[in-house]
């Protein structure tokens, strides 16, 4: 039945379908969507008004609005700690700890033994000191905030020499020179891009110098004719001149990764032992915890950080603190860490396991894609990611999907879009005219295979 003009919003809301949608989505949402759709209909001015397609459009729009925008994906990109995909996945212990403090009041800043106000970073500080040998520790929102807080606290309106080889950009807006400027400190560039010597630092130190800084080259490597001043030597120079050496370690692993055959990454413990007085690192890179910036070092300096009013602006919330405490606790038992900490579990997954997984799921993929696709197993190399261990790659296994027969230019992109449109989006990588899925981070095998029936290419 055709009517030339649409009924009123009230009349529309009374239709059985829209009344049902009101039950589901609430009246306010339905009214808003009905108004939007009416406007769209008027703008299109395409003949008479038809109720059924109008209602369907409202339903689709409401369903789309109701679906969460932030949600889990399958990270088959080949980068384990992928910043765009949320970096580290948390262990169950951390998930439980977060849920517990979310649902009810907790002793966030309350000392239960003494019945008075307590220190919110206390539990995490104790664990960090135990795990790094530091005298004191503090925690903020991320490592960028940690670097900012260290510079603003120790070097406001003063100078900080940094090697030209370490003026890093991490991606996004994190560049050492910019952070330095925003923190109110003056960067003094020292040495050259490829070679910096002790004498370069010695010459740069003057009455306005507040600290020496070292930044770990976490997402690049300078190779060839190079020289950098080792931490111990720089720390000795700093001490001689009565200055602190502060180190941005970037990822910073709390354990020696070579134990699991992974490329070594400096630990905060080693860096402190070499004489650094403050060391900062991320919570959600190799550490495998929630987003956080951790600073460990000398008590007197950490107390100054905690007294800076900016600390309040950068402090962690109870959910992050709960997750962090649970993750740090796992480090007390390094023997079981590779099973319990997802990041380490994924980084140390045996190649044979990945190959067996690929062989199991390739037939399901081939069946879902039909004869137009060629599905092949390939050796590949996973990246650790997030600026951790930039050069070393881990041997892995991937499934490569291309067009069977004649190569079709747009096919990999179309395929990638189809996988992204699945209920739980699958993120791969397009390379060599194929869509490649690195299986290192695929743990929910049945979840992956189970949704292939919904694939529309
Ligand atoms: C990753 C990184 C940062 C930034 O850390 P976020 O936790 O992402 O804020 C800073 N410095 C270095 C050297 C890094 O590798």
Report CA(406)–ligand 1 centroid distance (Å): 44
Q: Is 141 in the pocket of ligand 1 (CB under 6 A)?
A: no
Report CA(242)–ligand 1 centroid distance (Å): 27
Q: Whose C-alpha lies nearest to ligand 1, atom 12?
A: 250
Q: Do 190 and 209 reside in the same domain of the chain?
A: yes
Report CA(349)–ligand 1 centroid distance (Å): 25
DSSP string covering 181-215: HHTT-EEEEES-SSB--HHHHHHH--TTB--EEEE
* Number of the ligand 1 atom closest to the C-alpha atom of 249: 13
Q: Do 191 and 308 reside in the same domain of the chain?
A: yes
**Is 359 part of any domain?**
yes
**Is 400 part of any domain?**
yes
Q: Do 34 and 78 reside in the same domain of the chain?
A: no
Q: Whose C-alpha lies nearest to ligand 1, atom 5?
A: 143
**How big is the chain, counted in residues?**
457
Angle 71-284-101 from CA coordinates, rounded to 5°: 70
CATH number at residue 247: 3.40.640.10
Q: Do 79 and 102 reside in the same domain of the chain?
A: no
Q: Is 293 in the pocket of ligand 1 (CB under 6 A)?
A: yes
Site of tokens 């960028």: 144
Q: Is 170 in the pocket of ligand 1 (CB under 6 A)?
A: yes
**Is 1 part of any domain?**
no
**Is 4 part of any domain?**
no
* Number of the ligand 1 atom closest to the C-alpha atom of 145: 9
Per DSSP, what are the bridge partners of residue 435? 401, 430
Q: What is the pTM of this model?
A: 0.93
Q: What 3-state DSSP class applies to 64? A: helix
Cα gap 83→71, rounded to integer Å: 15
Helix (H) or strand (E) holding 169: strand 169-171
Cα gap 254→159, rounded to integer Å: 30
Report CA(174)–ligand 1 centroid distance (Å): 8
Q: Is 166 in the pocket of ligand 1 (CB under 6 A)?
A: no
**Is 3 part of any domain?**
no
Q: Whose C-alpha lies nearest to ligand 1, atom 7?
A: 143
Single out the residue in 316, 340, 364 at which a domain terminates: 340
| Low pLDDT (below 70) residues in the chain | 1-3, 172, 387-391, 406-408
Single out the residue in 340, 365, 387 at which a domain terminates: 340
**Is 57 part of any domain?**
yes
Cα gap 92→98, rounded to integer Å: 10
Q: Do 42 and 103 reside in the same domain of the chain?
A: no
Cα gap 285→282, rounded to integer Å: 6
Q: Whose C-alpha lies nearest to ligand 1, atom 11?
A: 250
Three state DSSP letters for 92-145: HHHHHHHHHHHHCCCCCCEECCCCEECCCCHHHHHHHHHHHCCCEEEEECCHHH
Q: Do 183 and 264 reside in the same domain of the chain?
A: yes
Report CA(251)–ligand 1 centroid distance (Å): 7
Q: Return the pLDDT at 3.
A: 52
- Whole-number Cα distances in Å, 115 to 119, 317, 318, 403: 12, 21, 19, 68
Q: Do 219 and 330 reside in the same domain of the chain?
A: yes
Single out the residue in 340, 360, 387 at which a domain terminates: 340
Q: Is 294 in the pocket of ligand 1 (CB under 6 A)?
A: no
Which of 282, 284, 292 to mutate to test ligand 1, by most ligand atoms within 8 A of the CB atom?
Answer: 282
Q: Do 376 and 420 reside in the same domain of the chain?
A: yes
Q: In 409-437, which positions are buried (b, 16+ CB within 10 angstroms) versus exposed (e)?
A: eebbeebbebbeebeeebbbbeeeebbbb
Q: Is 290 in the pocket of ligand 1 (CB under 6 A)?
A: no
Report CA(168)–ligand 1 centroid distance (Å): 10
Q: Return the pLDDT at 170.
A: 75
Q: Is 82 in the pocket of ligand 1 (CB under 6 A)?
A: no
Cα gap 400→76, rounded to integer Å: 11
**Is 195 part of any domain?**
yes
Q: Is 143 in the pocket of ligand 1 (CB under 6 A)?
A: yes
Q: Do 214 and 112 reside in the same domain of the chain?
A: yes
Q: Do 79 and 144 reside in the same domain of the chain?
A: no
Q: Return the pLDDT at 1.
A: 47
Number of domains forming the structure of the chain? 3
Helix (H) or strand (E) holding 11: helix 9-13
Q: Which two tokens stand for residue 303?
A: 């107390």
Q: Whose C-alpha lies nearest to ligand 1, atom 6?
A: 143
* Number of the ligand 1 atom closest to the C-alpha atom of 168: 13
Q: Do 13 and 113 reside in the same domain of the chain?
A: no
Q: Is 400 in the pocket of ligand 1 (CB under 6 A)?
A: no
Report CA(216)–ligand 1 centroid distance (Å): 9
Q: Return the pLDDT at 209.
A: 98
CATH number at residue 448: 3.90.1150.110
**Is 103 part of any domain?**
yes
Site of tokens 């070097």: 155
Q: Do 279 and 393 reside in the same domain of the chain?
A: no
Q: Return the pLDDT at 22.
A: 94
**Host domain of residue 319:** 92-340
């Amino acid at each position: 039945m055709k009517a030339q003009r649409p009924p009123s919003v009230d009349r529309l809301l009374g239709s059985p379908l829209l009344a049902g949608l009101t039950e589901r989505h609430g009246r306010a949402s339905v009214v808003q969507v009905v108004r939007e759709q009416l406007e769209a209909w008027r703008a299109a001015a395409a003949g008479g008004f038809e109720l059924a397609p109008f209602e369907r459009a409202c339903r689709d729009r409401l369903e789309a609005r109701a679906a969460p925008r932030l949600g889990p994906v399958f990270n088959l990109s080949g980068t384990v700690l992928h910043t765009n995909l949320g970096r580290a996945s948390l262990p169950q212990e951390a998930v439980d700890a977060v849920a517990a403090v979310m649902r009810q009041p907790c002793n966030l800043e309350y000392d239960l033994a003494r019945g008075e106000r307590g220190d919110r970073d206390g539990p995490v500080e104790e664990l960090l000191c135990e795990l790094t040998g530091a005298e004191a520790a503090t925690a903020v929102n991320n490592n960028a905030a940690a670097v900012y807080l260290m510079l603003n606290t120790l070097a406001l309106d003063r100078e900080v020499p940094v090697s030209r080889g370490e003026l890093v950009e991490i991606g996004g807006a994190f560049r050492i020179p910019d952070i330095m400027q925003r923190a109110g400190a003056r960067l003094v560039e020292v040495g050259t891009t490829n070679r910096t010597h002790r004498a370069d630092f010695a010459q740069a130190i003057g009455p306005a110098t507040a600290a020496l800084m070292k930044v770990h080259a976490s997402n690049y490597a300078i190779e060839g004719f190079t020289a950098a001043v080792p931490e111990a030597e720089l720390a000795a120079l700093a001490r001689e001149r009565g200055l602190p050496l502060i180190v941005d370690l970037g990822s910073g692993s709390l354990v020696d990764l070579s134990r699991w055959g992974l490329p070594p990454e400096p630990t905060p413990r080693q860096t402190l032992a070499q004489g650094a007085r403050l060391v900062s690192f991320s919570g959600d890179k190799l550490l495998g915890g929630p987003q956080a910036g951790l600073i460990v070092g000398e008590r007197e300096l950490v107390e100054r950080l905690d007294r800076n009013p900016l600390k309040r602006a950068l402090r962690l919330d109870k959910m992050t603190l709960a997750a962090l405490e649970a993750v740090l606790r796992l480090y007390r038992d390094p023997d079981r860490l590779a099973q319990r900490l997802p990041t380490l579990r994924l980084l140390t997954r045996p190649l044979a396991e990945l190959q067996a997984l690929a062989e199991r799921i390739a037939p399901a993929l081939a069946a879902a894609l039909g004869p137009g696709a060629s599905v092949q197993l390939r050796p590949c190399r996973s990246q650790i990611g997030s600026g951790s261990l930039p050069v070393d790659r881990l041997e892995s296994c991937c499934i490569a999907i291309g067009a069977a027969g004649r190569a079709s230019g747009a096919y990999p992109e179309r395929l990638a879009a189809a996988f992204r449109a699945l209920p739980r989006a699958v993120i791969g990588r397009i390379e060599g005219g194929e869509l490649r899925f690195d299986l290192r981070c695929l743990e929910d095998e049945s979840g992956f295979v189970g949704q292939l029936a919904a694939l529309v290419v």
